[in-house]
């Protein structure tokens, strides 16, 4: 094993690096020199369900977090961003090695192992540790929302 990189960390980092939702400020129709075919692009029904600049219309309270990534209002940096989740045990190398090993033997073991772990939620923006989801269903909030 040489320098194993936690795969989940990389994937999630890219996955949540989302571009801003498309909301052109000059969406109004401007007749000057516009090709009639261009009118097709004008959609009267714009997705108004998501109007928060982050793209996440509703933030989840930290104490209501589940195991998976969830959009929250980060109390540290104030940005609404999808959380990054990692298993509680900091040393993921052994975990992944064990998971991969078991994967070849017993298909159900990895799922069981991962489902028994606690998960830490980190802010997707500033990386602050926000809360820990325990497999007992309890959520430990590390950052209290102020203001």
Q: Enumerate binding residues for Zn ion (CB under 5 A).
A: 74, 76-77, 123, 125-126, 128
Q: Are 124 and 82 in contact (CB under 8 A)?
A: yes
Residue 83: count of CB within 10 angstroms of its CB: 27
List alpha helices for 2-142, DSSP H: 7-15, 92-105, 108-115
Which CB, 28 or 146, lies closer to Zn ion? Answer: 146
Which CB, 106 or 126, lies closer to Zn ion? Answer: 126
Find the shortest distance in angstroms from Cβ 128 to Zn ion: 5
Find the shortest distance in angstroms from Cβ 71 to Zn ion: 12
Which CB, 4 or 127, lies closer to Zn ion? Answer: 127
Find the shortest distance in angstroms from Cβ 16 to Zn ion: 12
Which CB, 60 or 76, lies closer to Zn ion? Answer: 76
Find the shortest distance in angstroms from Cβ 138 to Zn ion: 22
> Which residues have CB under 8 Å from 74's CB, separation 6+?
80, 81, 123, 125, 126, 128, 130, 143
Give the side-chain half-sphere CA count within 13 A for 82.
15
Distance of CA 72 to the CA centre of its chain: 9
């Amino acid at each position: 094993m040489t320098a194993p990189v936690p795969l989940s960390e990389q994937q999630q980092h890219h996955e949540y690096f989302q571009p801003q939702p498309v909301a052109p400020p000059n969406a109004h129709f401007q007749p000057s020199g516009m090709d009639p075919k261009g009118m097709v692009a004008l959609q009267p029904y714009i997705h108004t369900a998501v109007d928060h600049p982050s793209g996440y219309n509703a933030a989840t309270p930290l104490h209501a977090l589940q195991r998976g990534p969830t959009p929250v209002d980060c109390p540290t940096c104030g940005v609404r961003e999808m959380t990054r989740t990692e298993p509680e045990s900091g040393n993921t190398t052994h975990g992944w090695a064990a998971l991969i090993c078991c994967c070849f033997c017993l298909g159900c073991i990895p799922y069981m192992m991962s489902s028994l772990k606690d998960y830490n939620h980190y802010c997707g923006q500033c990386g602050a540790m926000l809360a820990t989801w325990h497999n007992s269903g309890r959520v430990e909030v590390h950052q209290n929302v102020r203001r």
